[in-house]
Amino acid sequence: MNLSTPDLCDQHPDQVRVVTGLHWRNYGGKSAFHGPIETVRCFEDNSRVKEALAEPGQGRVLVVDGGGSLRHALIGDLIAGRAAEQGWAGVVIHGACRDVEVTRDISIGLLALGPVPIKSVRRGEGERGVAINFGGVRFLPGEFVYADANGIIVASQALD
């Protein structure tokens, strides 16, 4: 299903929340993706990201609030590849990623604020399945996210 965020905003103006004030770049092999939201909140520690993406994705999108940090990557080619194999539709990282020359060939949506070559620290910290906020939007597990070259929108139910 090809869904355009501008079209969805036009068709459902009272149902969408638009992420603003952040500059996203696509580092994955899919330029557009959508699905039910799963969340992680972490800061420079990708333990919960790796854990979540190793599980069956069932078309979900992992939305990660990494605090906007560009000091440590929260995802790279190995984790992104595993996520694609597990059936995740995409990952939105409010933070950094790495291995971008490889991730662009992986069949997954991957939006992040930017790349950085240094890996995450691993201390087993972070939270899963919690409400997170960035870009003026609250992301709740089970809601729906839609992402393409125009931006990111969230809705409490699936849009078509």
pTM: 0.96
Domain boundaries, the chain: 5-149
The correct answer on CATH 3.50.30.40 for the domain covering 5-149 is yes
Cβ density class 108-127: b for 16+ within 10 Å, e for less:
bbbbbbbbbeeebeeeeebe
User: What mean pLDDT value characterizes the chain?
Assistant: 96
pLDDT digits (tens, 9 = 90+) for 9-67: 999 999 999 999 889 999 999 999 999 999 999 999 999 999 999 999 999 999 999 99
Q: Report the distance separating Cα 32 and Cα 44, nearest Å.
A: 26
For residue 80, which amino acid is it? A
